[in-house]
């Protein structure tokens, strides 16, 4: 007999047993049929006992035992099953109460003859784990004694052999059976050993903390698989925010774990605001519970021992291995270059490689495929908070004093050499916090602050993302911090440069608390201070009002470059630099004269040059000094200034 046939016979036997019991309890069975009914009971019980020894049936029996609290719960569940699939059973139950589905009194009558039974399905484990649900519509106006009950659709499907996750949990939970063996993961050996031991620790909570994308979830799943433990992965970020629905989802997850003999692996557990609800889920699990969280572990009452393991970033050598495994081709030199140039988190490396392979469509990969793959992944992860900035200018297009150029060059060297200084020379252990690079560019508008940020990104071969403040700041308490956390995590994992233009709007000074608004604004500032200190990426701030930046931020800066208005010599160079080589420029242009008459920053000079170019193009002539002087005069007047005499 195959598995499906054995299970079908078992369900028929359970239905026969219940149907016979209902016939006996409802009082409508003729006396001469009582003996026959008793025989039916014995035959059904014999068939049930025989079939329960078969592997596929015993799996279902064991699952029912895990979700039930004693024999009465099990019997009540089979009664509701028979009511759902057998018309004779449902008719007999309806005769007992004149209701389509059984209420608590009917359940007691069938199961215990109504005598001295305290069974209440409303408080049973069946309801707690969403095995059963109210069939009367769930209205609050109906008295509890009139509530009627039915098996949930998920349980009916399970009893018919459906071993997949409840569709109601789609996008929230999934079975994780496609993990790589733990020995193939490029992770720190000490971390792997700690997780291996912890997963075998019995009824404990194993919490792996660290930045997103480091492979925390993958490591836990691989360790569980190695230990012969099946898991259900849960993404806490996708759980409902509404408390009642959240608790129902977590109860359903607990039910799935019991039905399928799996344990939960809760990723991003710190994203769930209701720690009590998480604790309730954990209390339902007999074995190990696996969770991942950010760098700071949330304060939760687990009700069991907690084994905490901190996930560290992969070394450069491990990133080489990750790139080689993800791309599946290319030389070692290529992988070493990628590991050095793009020190991405493992999850981003994998996603970028998949995007690159999809772009190549089966042909041999070229560097452009990999760069495009990286951009695609970063756009997906950062697109909700920032936009990628395309940089077309070069250092020849900007004019800065030597001391400012030297400061910027020092910052670029700091980024390029941080692997050597922090990893090889051991400075990371000495410094502890503040391993990222944060720079403030302050000065008047148009002095080249944003342009320099773009050139730094271009020089380093990294992507620059300009933060959209409107998308970050929320009127709801705590939401701004959550969105900032997600953005910093994505930038850190993808090694992207964050650019905060007009940063004083977000990094402003904390104020004296005179209202709740002041208190929450200060909380946002405090969060930013803490996050910048732990940020290992590159963050560039620009501001026209340096004095408005909170002093605590300025103490955490790796670099502060003050951009001054250009002097006359620098302005002449800027006028010259703003005219492309392909543009037709008349020989009468006097850059020194323009610089002397109009004391403008580079941004305004750019606008004037562009205005002059359009005027010349409309006249079908070269760009003359007159065009430039008139454009500069109009730009100067728009600034509220009057040009000096020629």
Q: What whole-number distance in Å separates Cα of residue 266 and Cα of residue 3?
A: 32
Residues 41 and 446: their CA atoms lie apart, in Å, by: 91
Whether residue 423 has pLDDT greater than 80: no
**208 forms bridges with which residues in the sheet?**
292, 309
Sign of the Cα torsion 511, 517, 521, 526 reads positive
Question: Which helix (H) or strand (E) covers residue 245, if one does?
Answer: helix 243-260
For the ranges 101-105, 433-437, 550-554, the lowest mean pLDDT is seen at 433-437
Length of the chain: 646
523 band by pLDDT with thresholds 50, 70 and 90:
low
Residue 511 has pLDDT above 60, yes or no: no
Residue 329 per-residue DSSP state: -
The reply to whether CATH 1.20.1240.10 applies to domain 568-638 is no
Q: Which helix (H) or strand (E) holds 433?
A: none
Determine how β-strand 173-175 pairs with β-strand 289-293: unpaired
CATH fold of the domain at 395-562: Rossmann fold (3.40.50)
C-alpha closest to that of 231 among 223, 221, 240, 239 = 221
3-state secondary structure of 185: coil
pLDDT digits (tens, 9 = 90+) for 275-331: 889 999 999 998 999 999 988 788 888 889 999 999 988 887 888 888 888 887 655
Q: Can you tell me which residue has the tokens 């670029």? A: 412
* Mean pLDDT rounded to a whole number for the chain: 85
Q: What is the pLDDT of residue 644?
A: 61
Per CATH, 167-310 and 395-562 having the same topology is answered yes
| Average pLDDT of span 482-496 | 86
Q: How far is CA 575 from the centre of its chain?
A: 47
For tokens 């005598």, name the residue.
Answer: 115
Tens digit of pLDDT for each residue in 580-591? 989 999 989 999
The residues, ordered by sequence, that sit 6+ positions from 376 with a Cβ below 8 Å of its Cβ are: 352, 355
pLDDT at 398: 85
- CA pair distance 55, 58, nearest whole angstrom: 5
Cβ contact 544:442 at 8 Å: yes
Running DSSP on this structure, what letter comes out for residue 172? T
Using CB atoms within 10 Å of the CB of residue 138, give its burial: 0 to 12 exposed, 13 to 18 middle, 19+ buried. Answer: exposed
How do 289-293 and 386-389 pair as beta strands?
Answer: unpaired
- pLDDT computed for residue 35 by the predictor: 66
CATH architecture of the region 167-310? 3-Layer(aba) Sandwich (3.40)
For 588-602, what is the HEC assignment?
CCCHHHHHHHCCCCH
d(CA 275, CA 137): 30
Beta strand extents in 5-156 (DSSP E only): 132-134, 149-151
Contact 343, 495 (CB under 8 A): yes
Cβ–Cβ < 8 Å for 498, 452:
no
Which is more confident, 65 or 551?
Answer: 65
- Provide the 3-class DSSP secondary structure of residue 500: strand
Provide the 8-state DSSP code for 497: E
Break the chain into its structural domains and give their ranges: 3-159, 167-310, 316-382, 395-562, 568-638
Does residue 40 surpass a pLDDT of 80?
no
Q: What's the rounded mean pLDDT across residues 453-472?
A: 89
Q: How far apart are CA 97 and CA 528, in angstroms?
A: 63
Integer angstrom CA distances of residue 348 from 146, 296, 580: 55, 21, 38
Instruction: Please give the average per-residue pLDDT across 177-187, as a whole number.
Output: 75
Q: How far apart are alpha carbons 108 and 121 in whole angstroms?
A: 9
Residue in the structure block whose two tokens are 């300025």: 554
- Angle between helical axes of 367-382 and 346-360 (0-180°, round to 10): 120
């Amino acid at each position: 007999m195959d598995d499906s046939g054995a299970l079908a016979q078992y369900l028929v036997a359970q239905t026969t047993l219940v149907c016979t019991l209902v016939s006996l309890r409802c009082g409508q069975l003729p006396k001469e049929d009582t003996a026959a009914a008793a025989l039916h009971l014995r035959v059904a019980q014999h068939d049930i006992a025989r079939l329960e020894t078969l592997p596929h049936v015993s799996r279902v029996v064991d699952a029912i035992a895990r979700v039930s609290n004693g024999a009465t719960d099990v019997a009540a569940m089979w009664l509701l099953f028979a009511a759902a699939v057998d018309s004779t059973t449902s008719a007999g139950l309806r005769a007992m109460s004149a209701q389509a589905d059984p209420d608590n009194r009917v359940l007691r009558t069938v199961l215990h003859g109504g005598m001295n039974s305290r069974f209440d399905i409303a408080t049973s484990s069946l309801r707690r784990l969403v095995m059963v649900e109210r069939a009367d519509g769930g209205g609050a106006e109906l008295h509890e004694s009139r509530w009627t009950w039915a098996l949930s659709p998920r349980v009916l499907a399970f009893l018919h052999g459906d071993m997949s996750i409840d569709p109601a949990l789609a996008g929230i939970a999934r079975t994780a059976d496609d993990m790589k063996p733990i020995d193939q993961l490029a992770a720190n050996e000490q971390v792997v050993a700690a997780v291996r031991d912890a997963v075998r620790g019995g009824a404990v909570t194993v919490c792996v903390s660290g930045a997103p994308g480091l492979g925390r979830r993958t490591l836990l799943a691989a360790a569980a698989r190695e230990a012969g433990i099946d898991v259900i992965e849960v993404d806490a970020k996708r759980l409902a925010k509404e408390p009642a629905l959240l608790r129902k989802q977590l109860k359903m997850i607990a039910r799935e774990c019991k039905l399928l003999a799996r344990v939960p692996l809760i990723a991003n557990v710190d994203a769930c605001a209701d720690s009590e609800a998480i604790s309730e889920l954990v209390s339902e699990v007999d074995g190990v519970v696996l969770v991942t969280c950010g760098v700071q572990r949330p304060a939760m009452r687990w009700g069991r021992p907690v084994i905490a393991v901190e996930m560290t970033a992969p070394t450069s050598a491990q990133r080489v291995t990750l790139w080689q495994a993800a791309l599946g081709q290319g030389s070692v030199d290529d992988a070493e270059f990628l590991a050095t140039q793009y020190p991405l988190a493992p999850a981003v490396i994998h996603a970028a490689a998949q995007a690159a392979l999809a772009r190549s469509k089966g042909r041999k990969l070229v560097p452009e495929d990999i760069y495009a793959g990286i951009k695609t992944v970063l756009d997906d992860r950062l697109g909700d908070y920032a936009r990628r900035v395309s940089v077309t200018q070069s250092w020849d297009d900007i004019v800065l004093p030597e001391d400012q150029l030297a400061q910027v060059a020092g910052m670029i060297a700091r980024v390029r050499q941080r692997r050597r200084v922090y990893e090889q020379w051991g400075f990371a252990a000495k410094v502890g916090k503040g391993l990222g690079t944060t720079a403030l560019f302050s000065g008047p508008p148009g002095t080249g602050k944003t342009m320099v940020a773009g050139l730094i990104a271009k020089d380093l071969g990294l992507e620059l993302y300009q933060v959209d403040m409107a998308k970050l700041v929320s009127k709801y308490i705590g939401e701004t911090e959550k969105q900032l956390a997600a953005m910093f995590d994505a930038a850190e994992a993808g090694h992207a440069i964050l650019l905060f233009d007009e940063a004083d709007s977000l990094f402003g000074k904390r104020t004296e608390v005179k209202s709740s608004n002041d208190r929450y604004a200060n909380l946002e500032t405090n969060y930013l201070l803490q996050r910048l200190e732990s940020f290992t990426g590159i963050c560039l701030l620009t501001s026209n009002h340096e004095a408005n930046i909170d002093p605590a931020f300025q103490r955490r800066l790796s670099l502060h470059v003050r951009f001054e208005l250009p002097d006359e010599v620098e302005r002449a160079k800027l006028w010259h630099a703003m005219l492309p080589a392909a543009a037709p420029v008349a020989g009468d242009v006097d850059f020194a004269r323009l610089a002397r008459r109009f004391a403008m920053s580079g941004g305004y000079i750019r606008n004037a040059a562009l205005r002059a170019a359009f005027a010349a193009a409309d006249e079908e002539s070269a760009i003359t000094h007159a065009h430039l002087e008139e454009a500069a005069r109009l730009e100067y007047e728009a600034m509220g200034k009057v040009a000096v005499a020629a």
